[in-house]
Structure 1
Amino acid sequence: MSRPLDTDVRLILLSPADNCLIAAARLEAGTQMLIEGECVTLTKTIELGHKVARQELAKDDKVLRYGAVIGHVTEAVARGAHLHTHNLASDYLPTYTHDAGHEFIHH
């Protein structure tokens, strides 16, 4: 784990390919912090372990964490914005399904 050059120590980069950072502390709304040399002001409180946009994202952009796609944003997101269920949809596709009422026939 690391952090990009000129980025606040309270933000962790899990993989160089990621476009999100992880909050290493609770970050209060109104906090000013550097993200890759740009000063941003947090508009919402971000809880420990939550995701923060490393860069500006356009609607439907994929979000990468640990270098893997975890979902896509449902609206434009500014650098430093909180990424969570209000603006991030999962792209998880189950490898199996379980239908209620499906019965197995034994011979």
Structure 2
Amino acid sequence: MIRALLIDEKDNVATAVSDIKAGEVISVKKGSVSKEIKVKEAIAFGHKIALCDLVKGTDIIKYGEVIGRAKKDIKAGEWVHTHNTEDTYVPPK
């Protein structure tokens, strides 16, 4: 069963297509290669999951485009959302 989708091969996050529980191991296909990720925390339907470790300052890539930046270290399998990312389009106040 597909649990998360990778939109573009350049992406470093995948999108959950159903709720995923902490501790589950999911498989995400990147080109012809499947990668298994152990989910570190619950990921809600439609939310992003890190496919690799993202150190603070790393660009978040979805749809093959930069959609934000890690504002703290994010481990593979963690939820990627506004609590650990920052906008790259609007300068911080």
Pairwise TM-score range, normalised by the shorter structure: 0.7 to 0.9
SS of equivalent to 2:8: coil
**2:51 corresponds to:** 54
Is 1:32 matched with 2:25?
Answer: yes
Q: Give the structure-2-normalised TM-score.
A: 0.80
**2:31 corresponds to:** none
Q: Root-mean-square deviation (CA), in Å? A: 1.9
Aligned residues: 86
Compared CA separation, residues 83 and 39, structure 1 to 2 (3 A): closer
- Tell me by how many angstroms 1:75 deviates: 1.1
Q: Deviations over 1:78-99 (max 9, x none)?
A: 11111001111111249xxxxx
Q: Give the structure-1-normalised TM-score.
A: 0.71
Asked which structure has the greater CA Rg, the reply is 1
Q: Distance in 2 between matches of 1:39 and 1:22?
A: 13
Compared CA separation, residues 17 and 39, structure 1 to 2 (3 A): closer
Is 1:23 matched with 2:16?
Answer: yes
SS of equivalent to 1:37: strand
Name whichever structure is richer in strand by fraction: 2
- Tell me by how many angstroms 1:37 deviates: 3.5
Structure 2, unmatched stretches of 5+, are 29-33
Residue pairs, 1:88-107, within 5 angstroms = 88-93=85-90
Ranges of 4+ aligned residues in structure 1 off by more than 6 Å: none
Higher RCO (C-alpha under 8 Å, 6+ residues apart): 2
